[in-house]
Structure 1
Amino acid sequence: MTTNGWLQIALFALVILATTRPLGGYMYRVFEGERPPLPRVFGPLERALYRLCGVDPRREQGWKGYATALLLFSACGVLVTYALQRLQHLLPFNPERFGPVASDLALDTAASFATNTNWQNYGGESTMSYLTQMAGLAWHNFTSAAAGIGVALALARGLTRQPGPGGPKTLGSFWVDLVRSIVYLLLPVSVAVGLALVAMGVPQTLSAYREISTVEGAKQVIALGPVASQEVIKMFGTNGGGFFNANSAHPFENPTPLVNFVQLVLIFAIPAGLTYTYGKMARSTRQGWAIFGAMAILWLAGVLATYHAESHPNPALASLAVDHGPGNLEGKELRFGVANSALFATVTTDASCGAVNAMHDSFTPLGGLVPMVNMQLGEVIFGGVGAGLYGILVMVVLTVFIAGLMVGRTPEYLGKKIEGRELKLAMLYLLVFPAIVLTLTAWSSVVGLGTSSLGNAGPHGLSELLYAYSSGAANNGSAFAGLNGNTRFWNLTLAVDMLVGRFWMIIPALGIAGSMVGKKVVAPGLGTFPTTGLTFTVLLVAVVLIVGALTYFPALSLGPVLEHFAAVSGKVF
């Protein structure tokens, strides 16, 4: 653990803190302001899209209408992306003449990108045409991110709106939130930063792959493509799907430490900014900062644990006569080193991005434990674009309920009572994730179709299974690379895992919004638990950790924890 490494981590934290308020304020103006910013620049495109889609931007939806629109839009996206993959050999922009993608892999990929997971059981440069990458996968990078932002806004409106007697009980319009997310936020940043990435060495071209002669005189094919345009939205939308198989470890996707730092900032930018947006919606920015504080504490704890673990040699190799000074360098790029690899692994699994600049399968047992736990906590440590905010708000509802029990009165949040219906929906939200993850992990561990894809035996093999389904259900998309996921069994089970983890959790979140939006707001009393101070932040952190620990500790004990102690004792599986 070096001073340089600490300085880079501290600089990243300061940049995120500095961008949270201005970006959050901008997003508040986009979605809740009377007049969105830069109306002469973005307004014509916004209105054109409404006319093209037949949308009345003044018409809002209740939670059921909002959920129905989101589900239908996502289902259409899955079908179109599936068709593009199956027919890419008949379509243009396929200079390498890639054939149709296998049906089970096409379904897995379509479900993956529609759910903002971007799990990849394929090598992009050897499987997907340029058209499939741009019109199918990059398209979802925008729309799935925008859909997540919309759900977060809907839940925030449900908690913060104060309708008068007979007032509306609506949560906004899914179509308006979708269009504004893309037009005012995702698209302009992607264009600007995409051009900056090109200037920093990331390729952007539609030309065919190049064959070159190596120093030894052999021939090598250099894969190219429209990389920069997909790279920026991959990070800014917390998507994570790489143009190349090696993802952000590939020198074309992530050529320098500066590009690496820009990508890290892009991952956290919107999730952090949305906490300030929420505070503005709640008419108290301290509400947003309290949530930001809880997320920051959990992020910092993860970075410290991962950096410490990776700064030491793998316990299984500690007795070998080699220089262990640099720490565990297996699976890491030397241009990034241990500090940037540990920071990237923590950030990408905190924020459901899933992009990787190092192979998590090669981390030490405890170093690999942290990314897995980040996902299993529900992707609420900043979390995905939108998904992090609505996930942490569900945890806030649970925390306020527990606090209400502690002081012996009906729990309230922002002046609205938390009652049985909201608690049941919150518990449903919390139970869906472990139910699908643990069920599929248990099944895959006892059938040959599951274990035949493992690259390792023993506890590390269990970690590969548990990590895969945790990543899928958390809509993260990163993987322990020792697992071969491109089989019919894994393609289909992961598709189910990702769809359940996305939409079966969105529905109860919107249900809570629909239940809360029409509730009468009461003035705070002497027994009201304050939700803007350090006490609430610490309690929120404790609830997040306790829920995760009670759910996953037995499985983690058989996986990375057992692997660590076995390696220390010299046991090799």
Structure 2
Amino acid sequence: MTTEILGVGFIILASALLAWPLGTYIAGVFRGDKQWLDFMAPLENGILRTAGLDGQRQMDWKQNLRALLGTNAVFFTLAILLLLLQGYHPFWNPNGFANWEPTLAFNTAVSFTTNTNLQHYSGETGASYLTQLMVFCWLQFVTAATGMAACALLFRGLANRESDKLGNFYSLMLRSATRILLPISIVLSLALTATGTITGFDGLTEVTTLEGGTQLVAGGPAAPMVAIKQLGTNGGGFFGPNSAHPFENPTYLSNILENVAILLVPMAMVFAFGSYLRRRRLGLLFFGVMTVLFVTFVSVSAYQETVGNPAMHQMGLATADPNLEGKEVRFGPAASSLWGVSTTSTSNGSVNSMHDSHTAVSGGVFLLDMFINAIYGGVGVGFINFFVFVVIAVFIAGQMIGRTPDFLGKKIEAREVKIAAIVAIFHPLLILAGTALTSYLQTRNPDIGWLNNPGFHGFSEMLYENTSAAANNGSGFEGLGDNTPLWNLLTGSIMLLARFVPIIGPLAIVGALAIKKPVPPTAGSLQPDSLAFGTVLLSVILIIAALAFFPVLALGPLAEYFTL
């Protein structure tokens, strides 16, 4: 167990140390500084010319937002068409998989377009290689790049001095894909291949089992997809069991590489903020606030999984210590807890163990991670979500010291606070409304067939599914039968709203701040990089989450824990 804990500490430390120089590099890419990957410029310009887009035009926040939404609408249309017509593709479909059912195709196209990768399907039994690469893998690049470009627009708006021009979404998205995500993905893909993650295009292979029988085993180009699924906080696995599958995550070394990849870019985006605005101390403060929450959640979850289920101990079952149900023995409970907190902190959604089998408190921690949805968060949009909490904290701190709130020299006025409040309220609204609807339908018709686990845990399963969709996460409590028309349409709608409303709101805020005249700092000005403001910010995050979600936590994970 000591070795496991040391492994957890190593992964967190390695992620942070690698994220620091990567954040500096990302800031340089966003600013347009000369970089060693500038040779990608002709490819980027060629793509823009082919699409009829002007990558040099400076646009305000509304023009950039239209570009972002329009581009993603095209992504969605192409994805759903390829899924609906999968059976007609003559290429890379050696297993002859058929067309997708319409509501599942809608849910999956939305899921990958919104960087959620909620999987109501099993890839090895339903998706051709063409679908895996030309729909899933491709979208994992461009939707992660979309989030990074949106964050770059936010950085530019905060840095501006009385200018409404935030940059060019098309150029920023392409550069994020070609100069940041692609080169790191290539390196990680080669490293994973070296550790045993499969890469190939063979169809089903017949193998002889240890018992002497035969079985068909699916293969495929898993390593390239696993690399971008982790680095882009996408999370959609090549196989149904995701990174609990030995073909995706075969060894403890591959587990370390993948867990570091989950945390790397989200952490780096926080450092990129400090580097871009030349406010490294502020970036470190934000990173510190997130890390306090992250390490606390990892500690709580790892302890719970190490101690195991108290009900099992009461029955005299010593083997219940630790809780290994639903976990891979090659990783163990501590590494599984770290992964669970990492994947829910970063909106990644991939799993190396079954979250449904974790203890009640660990499940509650994973939920709380997604309730907050800003501890590192998804690539780009995680920091955007965190910025909403910053605006609210600045407003509260300003009221406490009796001054008009300002942040980085720009006054925070009623319009900005109202937008931030709407975005902060919208997240729990989606989760609670979706959970209320599905709980009502389950109560009215207990034989509806969704739940294998009645009672408090069944409620947690429905809560988790709605939360995962709203947090653009994609993981699940897999005791829930979610591949039904209602769940496909409901979570698809939640994913769309939860992806784009939290982008629209903060861009509107920075669009308003960008044109404001800077306020000269005085002795009474709020110091956002101070320990006092960090404490206020941490308190605001916890209070908002507690006020919105404590009742449902009490009905689900907490009630389950106290009945053990």
Shift of 1:51: 2.1
C-alpha contact 1:290 1:536 (8 A) present in aligned 2: no
The one-character-per-residue Cα deviations of 1:376-405 (angstroms, maximum 9, x if unpaired) are 01x210000001111111111111111000
Equivalent in the alignment of 1:401:
395
Shift of 1:20: 2.2
Equivalent in the alignment of 1:471:
468
Cα distance between partner residues in 2 of 1:313 and 1:13 = 23
Q: Given the alignment of the two structures, is residue 438 of structure 1 paired with residue 432 of structure 2, yes or no? A: yes
Q: Given the alignment of the two structures, is residue 508 of structure 1 paired with residue 492 of structure 2, yes or no? A: no
Cα distance between partner residues in 1 of 2:16 and 2:183 = 22
C-alpha contact 2:16 2:264 (8 A) present in aligned 1: no
Q: How many residues align?
A: 560
Task: State the one-letter code of the partner of 2:302.
Answer: Y
The one-character-per-residue Cα deviations of 1:198-239 (angstroms, maximum 9, x if unpaired) are 111111111212011223222101110110010000000000
Cα distance between partner residues in 2 of 1:452 and 1:525 = 63
Deviation larger for 86-95 or 231-240 = 86-95
C-alpha contact 1:16 1:265 (8 A) present in aligned 2: yes
Task: State the one-letter code of the partner of 1:50.
Answer: L
Deviation larger for 470-479 or 443-452 = 443-452
Equivalent in the alignment of 1:68:
66
Equivalent in the alignment of 1:171:
166
Cα distance between partner residues in 2 of 1:33 and 1:181 = 11
C-alpha contact 2:28 2:276 (8 A) present in aligned 1: no
The one-character-per-residue Cα deviations of 1:535-554 (angstroms, maximum 9, x if unpaired) are 22222111111100000001
Q: TM-score by structure 1 length?
A: 0.96
Q: Given the alignment of the two structures, is residue 353 of structure 1 paired with residue 352 of structure 2, yes or no? A: no
**Coordinate RMSD, CA, aligned:** 1.3
Shift of 1:534: 2.0
Shift of 1:322: 2.4
Task: State the one-letter code of the partner of 2:277.
Answer: A
Equivalent in the alignment of 2:207:
212
Shift of 1:251: 0.1
Equivalent in the alignment of 2:413:
419
Equivalent in the alignment of 1:7:
6
The one-character-per-residue Cα deviations of 1:403-452 (angstroms, maximum 9, x if unpaired) are 00000010110000000110011011111111111011001001147963
Shift of 1:326: 4.0
Cα distance between partner residues in 2 of 1:34 and 1:372 = 40
Q: Secondary structure at the match of 2:318?
A: coil
Q: Given the alignment of the two structures, is residue 372 of structure 1 paired with residue 367 of structure 2, yes or no? A: yes
C-alpha contact 1:315 1:564 (8 A) present in aligned 2: no
Query: Where does 1:324-339 land on structure 2 (aligned, <5 Å)?
Result: 324=319, 326-339=321-334
Gaps (5+ residues) in structure 2?
none
Q: Secondary structure at the match of 1:220?
A: strand
Shift of 1:518: 0.7
C-alpha contact 2:312 2:320 (8 A) present in aligned 1: no
C-alpha contact 2:118 2:473 (8 A) present in aligned 1: yes
The one-character-per-residue Cα deviations of 1:463-518 (angstroms, maximum 9, x if unpaired) are 00111000001000000010011001111101011111111221112111211111
Shift of 1:33: 3.4
Q: Sequence identity, in percent?
A: 42
Q: Given the alignment of the two structures, is residue 153 of structure 1 paired with residue 152 of structure 2, yes or no? A: yes
Cα distance between partner residues in 1 of 2:262 and 2:249 = 14
Cα distance between partner residues in 1 of 2:37 and 2:87 = 42
Deviation larger for 447-456 or 420-429 = 447-456
C-alpha contact 2:309 2:321 (8 A) present in aligned 1: no
Q: Given the alignment of the two structures, is residue 81 of structure 1 paired with residue 76 of structure 2, yes or no? A: no
Q: Given the alignment of the two structures, is residue 493 of structure 1 paired with residue 485 of structure 2, yes or no? A: no
Cα distance between partner residues in 1 of 2:36 and 2:50 = 22
Shift of 1:289: 0.8
Q: Secondary structure at the match of 1:207?
A: coil
Of residues 226, 230, 236 in structure 1, which corresponds to 2:231? 236
Change (3 A) 1:348 1:120: same
C-alpha contact 1:171 1:513 (8 A) present in aligned 2: no
Of residues 515, 531, 534 in structure 1, which corresponds to 2:531? 534
Cα distance between partner residues in 2 of 1:394 and 1:154 = 15
Cα distance between partner residues in 1 of 2:130 and 2:459 = 37
C-alpha contact 1:247 1:253 (8 A) present in aligned 2: yes
Shift of 1:325: 6.7
Cα distance between partner residues in 1 of 2:269 and 2:211 = 52
Task: State the one-letter code of the partner of 2:43.
Answer: L
The one-character-per-residue Cα deviations of 1:259-281 (angstroms, maximum 9, x if unpaired) are 11111111111111111111122
Q: Secondary structure at the match of 1:535?
A: helix
C-alpha contact 1:282 1:414 (8 A) present in aligned 2: no
Deviation larger for 358-367 or 29-38 = 29-38
C-alpha contact 1:471 1:478 (8 A) present in aligned 2: yes
Cα distance between partner residues in 2 of 1:26 and 1:52 = 28
Cα distance between partner residues in 2 of 1:20 and 1:231 = 19
Q: Given the alignment of the two structures, is residue 294 of structure 1 paired with residue 252 of structure 2, yes or no? A: no
Task: State the one-letter code of the partner of 1:423.
Answer: V
Cα distance between partner residues in 2 of 1:307 and 1:463 = 20
Task: State the one-letter code of the partner of 2:220.
Answer: G
Cα distance between partner residues in 1 of 2:310 and 2:460 = 17
Cα distance between partner residues in 2 of 1:212 and 1:499 = 42
Deviation larger for 270-279 or 323-332 = 323-332
Q: Secondary structure at the match of 1:329?
A: coil
Query: Where does 1:15-34 land on structure 2 (aligned, <5 Å)?
Result: 15-34=14-33
Equivalent in the alignment of 2:43:
45
Of residues 350, 363, 383 in structure 1, which corresponds to 2:358? 363
Cα distance between partner residues in 2 of 1:74 and 1:67 = 11
Of residues 549, 554, 561 in structure 2, which corresponds to 1:552? 549
Equivalent in the alignment of 1:188:
183
The one-character-per-residue Cα deviations of 1:50-91 (angstroms, maximum 9, x if unpaired) are 222223222121111111111111111111111111111111
Of residues 518, 521, 524 in structure 2, which corresponds to 1:524? 521
Of residues 428, 435, 441 in structure 2, which corresponds to 1:447? 441
Deviation larger for 535-544 or 144-153 = 535-544
Shift of 1:144: 0.8
Equivalent in the alignment of 1:571:
none
C-alpha contact 2:12 2:260 (8 A) present in aligned 1: no
Of residues 535, 540, 543 in structure 2, which corresponds to 1:543? 540
Task: State the one-letter code of the partner of 2:22.
Answer: L
Shift of 1:324: 3.9
Equivalent in the alignment of 1:384:
378
